[in-house]
Structure 1
Amino acid sequence: MEATGMQYSVSFVFDEHKATQASAYLLGLNKGRMNYMKLMKILYLSDRRFILDWGNSITTDNYVSMDNGPVISRIYDLIKDSNTDTGTYWASCIRTIGYEVFLQKDPGVDCLSPMEMEIIERVNSEFEGFSEWDLVDFCHKNLPEWQNPHGSSIQISIEDILSAEKKGEEYNQAIGEIQLAAEIQKSNYFMQRARKL
Structure 2
Amino acid sequence: MGTKSTFKKDVAIQAILYAAQHVERKDIHKICKILYFADQDHLSKYGRSITGDTYIAMPFGPVPSNVEDIFKAVRGDSFFSDCVDDLKEYFDFINKYVLITKKKADTDYLSESDLECLDKAIEKCKDKSFNELTEMSHDLAWSNTQRDRAISIKDILREVGDDEEYVSYIDRKIATEDMFI
Question: TM-score w.r.t. structure 1 length?
Answer: 0.76
Name the SS for the 2:53 alignment partner. Answer: coil
Match of 2:149 among 148, 151, 154: 154
Does residue 100 of structure 1 match 2:92? no
- Measured after TM superposition, the shift of residue 92 of structure 1 is 2.2
Gaps of 5+ in 2: none
Question: Is it true that 1:144 corresponds to 2:137 in the alignment?
Answer: no
Aligned residue pair count:
175
Deviations 1:82-133 (A, max 9, x none): 1346535433212122210111123512221011111111111122210122
2:169 to 167, 172, 176: 176
The structure 2 residue matched to 1:68, chosen from 49, 60, 73, is: 60
2:71 alignment counterpart: 79
Percent of pairs identical after alignment? 25
**Residue equivalent to 1:113:** 111
Check if 1:123 corresponds to 2:118: no
CA distance in 1, matches of 2:179, 2:14: 18
- CA distance 1:145–1:126, change in 2 (3 Å): same
> Is residue 146–residue 156 contact of structure 1 (8 Å, CA) maintained in 2?
yes
What corresponds to 1:20 in structure 2?
13
Q: Which amino acid aligns with 1:132?
A: F
1:58 corresponds to? 50
What TM-score results when the alignment is normalised by the length of structure 2? Answer: 0.83
**Root mean square deviation of aligned Cα:** 2.6
Of residues 36, 40, 44, the one that matches 1:48 is 40
